[in-house]
Structure 1
Amino acid sequence: MGYKDIIFEAAAKEQGLSWITVVENGETSTLSVCPASKTLDCYSVSKVFTVTALGLLCDDGMLSTEERVVDILRDLLPDGMDERWESVTVDDVIRHRWGIDHGFLDIDVENIEEYERLYGTRDDFLRIVLSAHLPLEVGSKYVYSDAAYYLLSRIITVKTGISLTELLRERLFTPMHFEETAWSCCPLGFALGATGLFIRSADIAKLGQLYIDGGVYGGERYLSSEWCRTVLERGYELESVAPNVYAKGGMYGQIIMINTERRLSVAWLGYDTDGYSERLQTLVRGL
């Protein structure tokens, strides 16, 4: 029995799981468990795609992770910014170590109609992020926030002149034959970056395979091997969860997991209310 069979046997018993894809040694298999649309919101798994877009820019020499955010966004900075913003780099933002002491701009659970009262604007998400007070020393503490990845989405647009969605469509989604994607946007039309990517499990698993193979998919190179190593070594959203195993989860149990030794990429989508995602993660970690 191969790894795919072991995973599918367990997955078939889980209520709330919609789709699960396993890529084992380059062979892709997808199982439908509970009826659902094939294309679903992967929530925070979206962040791995934003990281990948940053890699495209770094490979092209258009971006360095050591660049300061204020230098990139110089023409968009609001008045009265916290002075600690002067030392925030792209790397700090990717790793959620940019000086905030609490998460914010999580539109999956927050009420956007409260933003005008809280931040003075309902629509300008970039102003909300850049106006944030930074009480912690930059780089000192991990504080997870969707605000970080919206900021990265805007950085990508400033660097390229096109949206995060357009960049990935041109450089990844179309050439890698992704079937269907759509990305939720802020009121001003910029991709959220942190969440809101609607996608199929098989296409999430393709991204995992891309990292397993050091940036190559279907015989074509899309990312440098250096960037792929950087992502895994620094935990750029694909974080180490066991020896040779890296994962990123999203709200309601979405997941991408890769095992670089077993050459195994696994992704699933659904609506977890009873812990099935953690059970399946435990299984995959132990393979």
Structure 2
Amino acid sequence: MVGEGFGRATPESQGVSSRSIRDFLAAANASGISWHSMMLVRHGQVVAEGWWKPYEPGFVHSLYSLSKSFTSTAIGLLVEEGKLDIHAKVVSFFPDDLPASVSDNLRQATVRSLLTMNTGHAEDTMPKMRASSDSWVRTYLSQPVEFTPGTHFLYNTGNTYMLGAILHKVTGQTLEEYLKPRLFQPLGITGYDWEVSPQGLNTAGYGLRVKTEDIAKLGQLYLQKGSGKGVRY
């Protein structure tokens, strides 16, 4: 169940060893890593959870690149609604933001290229986007694309931002606005916030803050192949 939160159960009742959980926690505490929280879900039941001081269950946590999973979910929903083709060219959404000279590689990049991090860039575009006084979309489109899309993998947070920008072009909504009735509300995710660019679009590839249990809700929704209490995709 994901729509109203998880039930709680003992580890053994769900086939999980309490001793193994204690061993994990001992290893976590000995790791030297600054842990915030942990939640273990089995068969839709929380069998172990905990927060390291000063963190608490009601606190939201910065997801960093886990934000990308929420963005890609939004794109999947947009495709399911018949409003987006993943084979559409990226440049087709931004005719007014293109550089004077558009390279063949840039012209070939598709929504799928953004999703799979195969746009052909040799370096992450996000640092230059964040440093630019121009719009992030125009800055992204002005960057060199050294490789043919689909031939070179590069983890590029700028790609994910462009997915959010495309969603905005298609729907007129930010990622946060689009996902609220389709994902956040059905899953009972509240109290979240998402950073925005200078142009007012959610940063998409990072910057989302939700509670620990909210992360588990998204994971459980995927485990259930898009079906949960109050939501069906």
Any residues of structure 2 matched to 1:175-214 within 5 Å, and which?
Answer: 175-214=186-225
Aligned residue among 38, 58, 67 for 2:88: 67
Aligned residue among 7, 11, 16 for 1:3: 16
Give the direction of change, closer, same or farther, for the CA distance of 1:124–1:58 in structure 2 (3 Å limit): same
Instruction: Quote the Cα distance in structure 1 between the aligned partners of 2:165 and 2:25.
Output: 37
Instruction: Quote the Cα distance in structure 1 between the aligned partners of 2:129 and 2:86.
Output: 32
For residue 40 of structure 2, what is the aligned residue in structure 1?
A: 22
Aligned residue among 14, 32, 48 for 2:51: 32
Paired-residue identity, %: 29
For residue 284 of structure 1, what is the aligned residue in structure 2?
A: none
Could you state the TM-score of these two structures normalised by the residue count of structure 2? 0.83
C-alpha offsets along residues 33-85 of structure 1, whole Å, 9 cap, x if unaligned?
A: 23226211110000000010001101000011111111223343343232321
Any residues of structure 2 matched to 1:1-287 within 5 Å, and which?
Answer: 1=12, 2-3=15-16, 5=18, 6-7=20-21, 9-11=23-25, 13-14=28-29, 16-28=34-46, 29-36=48-55, 38-106=59-127, 112=130, 115=131, 121-218=132-229, 220-221=231-232, 223=233
C-alpha offsets along residues 199-237 of structure 1, whole Å, 9 cap, x if unaligned?
A: 11110111111111110122530x2xxxxxxxxxxxxxx
Instruction: Quote the Cα distance in structure 2 between the aligned partners of 1:176 and 1:111.
Output: 32
How many positions carry a matched residue from both structures?
A: 212
Secondary structure, counterpart of 2:54 in structure 1: coil
For residue 264 of structure 1, what is the aligned residue in structure 2?
A: none
Instruction: Quote the Cα distance in structure 2 between the aligned partners of 1:128 and 1:71.
Output: 16
Give the direction of change, closer, same or farther, for the CA distance of 1:129–1:173 in structure 2 (3 Å limit): same
> Which protein shows a greater Rg?
2
Instruction: Quote the Cα distance in structure 2 between the aligned partners of 1:139 and 1:133.
Output: 15
Q: Give, in angstroms, the shift of residue 185 of structure 1.
A: 0.9
User: What are structure 2's unaligned runs of at least 5 residues?
Assistant: 1-11
RMSD: 2.1
Instruction: Quote the Cα distance in structure 2 between the aligned partners of 1:24 and 1:152.
Output: 32
Instruction: Quote the Cα distance in structure 2 between the aligned partners of 1:30 and 1:79.
Output: 54
Would you say the 8 A contact 2:68–2:204 is kept in 1? yes
Between 1:28-37 and 1:61-70, the stretch displaced more is 28-37
Could you state the TM-score of these two structures normalised by the residue count of structure 1? 0.68
Give the direction of change, closer, same or farther, for the CA distance of 1:205–1:8 in structure 2 (3 Å limit): farther
Secondary structure, counterpart of 2:49 in structure 1: strand
Give the direction of change, closer, same or farther, for the CA distance of 1:35–1:158 in structure 2 (3 Å limit): same
Instruction: Quote the Cα distance in structure 1 between the aligned partners of 2:158 and 2:129.
Output: 15
Q: Give, in angstroms, the shift of residue 19 of structure 1.
A: 1.2
Would you say the 8 A contact 2:186–2:231 is kept in 1? no
Secondary structure, counterpart of 1:210 in structure 2: helix
Instruction: Quote the Cα distance in structure 2 between the aligned partners of 1:11 and 1:128.
Output: 44
Instruction: Quote the Cα distance in structure 2 between the aligned partners of 1:167 and 1:95.
Output: 22
Q: Would you tell me which structure has more strand in proportion to its own residues?
A: 1
The letter of the residue matching 1:30 is E
Would you say the 8 A contact 1:123–1:186 is kept in 2? no
Which ranges of 4 or more aligned residues in structure 1 deviate by more than 6 Å?
Answer: none
Secondary structure, counterpart of 2:213 in structure 1: helix
Q: Give, in angstroms, the shift of residue 123 of structure 1.
A: 4.6
